[in-house]
Amino acid sequence: MKGRFYVTTPIYYVNDVAHIGHAYTTIAADILARYRRLRGDQVFFLTGTDENSQKNVEAAGRSGYNNIQEYLDMMAARWRQAWTDLELTNDDFIRTTEERHRQAVAKFWQAVKRNSPDDIYKGQYSGLYCVGCEKFVTKADLTDDGNCVFHNRPPQEIKEENWFFRLSAYRERLLQWIDEHPDFIQPTARRNEVRSYIERFMEDISISRQTQAWGISVPDDPESVIYVWFDALINYLTAAGYLSDETRFARLWPAATHLIAKDILTTHAVYWPTMLHALGLPQPKAIVAHGWWTFEGTKMSKSLGNVVHPGDLVDRYGADAVRYFLVRELAWDRDLSFSEPRFAAVYQADLANDLGNLLHRVVSMIGRYYDGRVPEPGDPTTKEEALRPLSVLLYPMLPERTTESVPTEIAALTRNLSWRMPHQ
């Protein structure tokens, strides 16, 4: 029987074009989707854009757009093109301004109020909000000089009447789920971070804004819009057919694996499971957080302007080389600084010399000894059996497993790359 595999990337803010950090996550998802299709699984690969955020509104203004939707349409098209240039095979591209998503978010909100009426309540919020993170923060999230640790700028002070979600009511249930499902948050270091956050810092969160005009309106409260993260996370359900296509939803959910970068770990590993618990919906199979691509030791960020665009690399080296380099270099449990000289060295050593020469010699031998026809394989020799673990990219035959382990899969799919050249 064929397996099911639903893999997602984050949906990306469109306040600027994609950088290689976004490309890395999406390429990793594409590799997994391609591999699972080769294995015969039913695959659904989702990516898209997060368009209901204050940072997008600010970017539209800076770009001279009075009509925010026109700006979002233009930028979403650029993101689609970036993924086309990288030859990605996503089955869907979701935008949070689409009507299907607006309806799913409204239904989700109403369902939580119906099923868990005490979990959404009105209250006064007074605190700090980082527009770069699109997240309410505490002083524990800031540097000694009061700046966001990710975006190097101070958060806004906000005081307004908001709707809140009773996150704290699910503390013990979430800890129990994480302990009983060790593969739920990967790698292990990320799981430990999440457990520590839940035990020490988890509290109710504001899930609406009054001072932001752009977004999905709160049902029965048109003066408020739904907080971007409470809205955005629901995209994984929207695309699966939540409350719109029961057959599709039963087929796709919960066979979901979320690939993310480590800076959005809390929203995915704390907010999202709790939201699903509130409705009694099944949890995703795994939430897998990788490290950052940095530039000169600093996290790549569109707001900081220190980004490397994949399209520039594709123009110079081609899509295959970009895909190869990004996945070959970055380990899931650490950060790595981008260096174009390193890229060029890997390109020359691995692709031009090693694999390029191998391909040339194999093709030449097939032409010389087999009249240009690939011969039928014989029984493997002992030496060939020893090489099998190093040839997964060319012959993807991983052993079956009873549990999901996405970092293990990606490591297996790329382990034949790591022995050629040591990481710098």
For residue range 334-362, what is the model confidence (pLDDT) as tens digits? 888 998 999 999 999 999 888 888 888 99
Any domain includes 106: no
Going by pLDDT thresholds of 50, 70 and 90, the confidence category of residue 158 is confident
Cα within 13 Å of Cα(93), Cβ side: 15
β-partners of residue 299 are 294
Per-residue pLDDT reduced to its tens digit, 383-397: 888 877 665 444 333
Measured CA to CA in angstroms, residue 339 lies from 118, 119, 128, 150, 261 at distances of 51, 47, 35, 21, 20
Any domain includes 146: no
Any domain includes 170: no
Mean pLDDT of 370-381: 88
pLDDT for the residue numbered 412: 57
pTM equals: 0.83
Kindly report the backbone phi and psi dihedral angles of residue 253, in degrees, each rounded to the nearest multiple of 5, phi listed first: -105, 130
Any domain includes 216: no
Contact 406, 185 (CB under 8 A): no
Contact 7, 254 (CB under 8 A): no
Enumerate residues 6+ apart whose C-beta is below 8 A from 115.
Answer: 278, 279, 280
pLDDT above 70 (res 101): yes
Give the number of domains in the chain. Answer: 1
Contact 392, 398 (CB under 8 A): yes
Residue from 162, 160, 174 nearest 120 by CA: 162
User: What is the chain's mean pLDDT, rounded?
Assistant: 87
Q: What is the spatial distance between Cα 327 and Cα 309, in angstroms, rounded to a whole number? A: 16
Any domain includes 395: yes
Any domain includes 119: no
Measured CA to CA in angstroms, residue 79 lies from 18, 60, 108 at distances of 7, 16, 27
Any domain includes 193: no
Catalytic residues: 19, 22, 130, 133, 148, 151, 299, 302
pLDDT for the residue numbered 402: 34
Quote the tokens at residue 30: 């594409």
Locate tokens 């530039």: which residue?
A: 295
pLDDT for the residue numbered 418: 35
Q: Is 20 left (phi over 0), alpha (psi -120 to 50) or beta?
A: alpha
Mean pLDDT of 259-270: 95
Quote the tokens at residue 317: 């080296």
β-partners of residue 161 are 124
137, amino acid identity = V
Burial profile 231-243: b = 16 or more Cβ within 10 angstroms, e = fewer: bbbbbbbbbbbbe
Provide the 8-state DSSP code for 377: P
Any domain includes 379: yes
Beta strand pairing call for 293-295 and 336-337: parallel
Which residue segment(s) compose the domain that 366 sits in? Answer: 339-418
